[in-house]
Every structure is written in C-alpha cells, then in structure tokens.
Amino acid sequence: MTVYRKLLPTDLRAYRDHLLRLSSNDRYSRFCGFKTDESIAVHCQGIDWRFTIMVGCFVRGELRAVAELRTEPKVWPGEGELAVSVERDFQNQGLGSGVVRRILTVARNRAIRRLVLICLIGNRRMQAVVRKFLGKLDSEHGEVTGRIELPWPSQMSLLQEALDSGSAVVDGVLDQWRAGPSDPVSAVA
Ligand SMILES: CC(C)(COP(=O)(O)OP(=O)(O)OC[C@H]1O[C@@H](n2cnc3c(N)ncnc32)[C@H](O)[C@@H]1OP(=O)(O)O)[C@@H](O)C(=O)NCCC(=O)NCCS
C-alpha cells in the first residue's frame, strides 16, 4: 500500500537510507553533483527541522520518494528550495508528482509564495513534473531552474492539507493491518 505523509525528525534514518539507495545517476540528478555516502549523511544531519518541510511516500512501509523543501525565512522570506527523489524502481509511476502535489499544499498553507527547484538540463522528467504544477522553467549553464508560484492559503488548501494528513493516518493503520499477524511488531503497534 502507498502512504503519503509529512516526515518527522524520527524519519531521519529512513530518509538517509532512501537517499543512499538512489542509483549513482539519480543521486547526481538529485543533488546536481556528486555525493558520497558520507556527504549524504552530512546532508541529513544538517537538516534544520524548524525550516524544512518534507513529504514522503512509503510503499509497503518503506520510504521510496521524498520532496524536501528548505526555507530561510530571514534571508528569503516567502520562498523555499525544493528537491525531489524517487528510487529507480518506483519512478514514472506518479510518486514524484504525488509528493510534490502534497508539499505544494503544505508550503502554500505556510504562506510560502514561491518555490525554486534546480535540476540538470537533461532531466526531462523533473521538468515535466514542474510544468504539471504550472511552474516556469529557465535554463542556464547546463542547469534548469523551475519556479512555482503559490497563491495565499485558502479554506480549500487548509482543508486539503487536513484531508492529506487524515488519509495518511488511515492508510498507515490499514497498511499495518495488511502486514498481517506474521509480523508481530506491526500487529501490536
Ligand atoms: C525526477 C523525479 C523526481 C520524477 O519523479 P517520478 O515519480 O519519476 O515522476 P512522475 O511519475 O510523478 O511524473 C513523471 C512525468 O514525467 C513525464 N516523463 C517521463 N519521462 C519523460 C521524458 N523522457 N520526457 C518528458 N517527460 C517525461 C511523465 O509522462 C510524467 O508526466 P505526466 O504525469 O504528466 O504523464 C524522479 O524521476 C527522480 O527522483 N529522479 C532522480 C532524482 C532527480 O532527478 N531529482 C530532481 C532534481 S531535485
């Protein structure tokens, strides 16, 4: 079963393991540059949870896709930088769009008005996802910058976030039931 939810500091290890599972090409695409296992660990340790929002997609309990939004309210008020990662076997199945759609709702409800995403010029799939959410793309020096403008929060966007959070709880419980009695930890949790 597929469960989308916001990530918490307790998900840090799952996030690090997800990034470490990316293929070397995807790792390069995600960070627009080479990253060793150690630098991925440093990246995760450096997350400031006060200013970072993450939405993850769990497939059968394993974190397979993440949208990470970093903000710097003092330096760039109302703006954030978005990055997305989906593991190879799960790409092109809508998970990337799923985490982006949800994080846009959360960002909008935090009065973030513009998201910026940088990807490689050949990363057509990421660019398709940005376009899907009405983002604009500009290319320069081998990289593409996507910008997605967000409206102010509305009753509908607040309701959408509440529905997303509610579905995450229900889907999480159903997922544990489906794990069945052969998994004693899941059965009692
Ligand atoms: C880029 C990435 C996040 C996209 O996530 P995903 O789950 O594979 O994407 P989705 O399935 O949600 O959507 C892919 C879209 O690209 C389109 N697409 C796929 N291949 C394409 C191609 N070669 N050219 C143009 N569009 C393409 C699909 O049709 C789909 O659009 P649609 O939903 O309108 O039909 C994912 O592939 C990934 O993690 N790549 C490695 C890391 C990375 O590149 N991160 C981006 C930089 S931060």
Residue 148: give its domain's CATH number.
3.40.630.30
Confidence of residue 40 (pLDDT cuts 50, 70, 90): very high
What gap in Å lies between CA 112 and CA 78, rounded to an integer?
4
Asked whether residue 12 is domain-assigned, the answer is yes
Asked whether residue 127 is domain-assigned, the answer is yes
Q: Indicate the number of domains in the chain.
A: 1
pLDDT on residue 182: 53
Q: Residue 107: give the domain boundaries.
A: 2-165
Average pLDDT for residues 122-140, to the nearest whole number? Answer: 95
pLDDT on residue 189: 40
Asked whether residue 175 is domain-assigned, the answer is no
Asked whether residue 188 is domain-assigned, the answer is no
CA 127 to centroid of ligand 1, rounded, Å? 7
CB of 103 closer than 6 angstroms to any ligand 1 atom: no
What gap in Å lies between CA 38 and CA 21, rounded to an integer?
13
Task: Give the DSSP H/E element, type plus range, for residue 55.
Answer: strand 52-59
Tell me the per-residue pLDDT of 100-112, one tens digit each, with 9 for 90 and over: 999 999 999 999 9
CA 86 to centroid of ligand 1, rounded, Å? 9
Asked whether residue 151 is domain-assigned, the answer is yes
- Going through 72-166 in order, the beta strands assigned E by DSSP cover 79-86, 114-120, 136-140, 143-149
Tell me the per-residue pLDDT of 46-97, one tens digit each, with 9 for 90 and over: 999 999 999 999 999 999 999 999 999 999 999 999 999 999 999 999 999 9
What gap in Å lies between CA 153 and CA 75, rounded to an integer?
22
Name the β-bridge partners of 52.
70
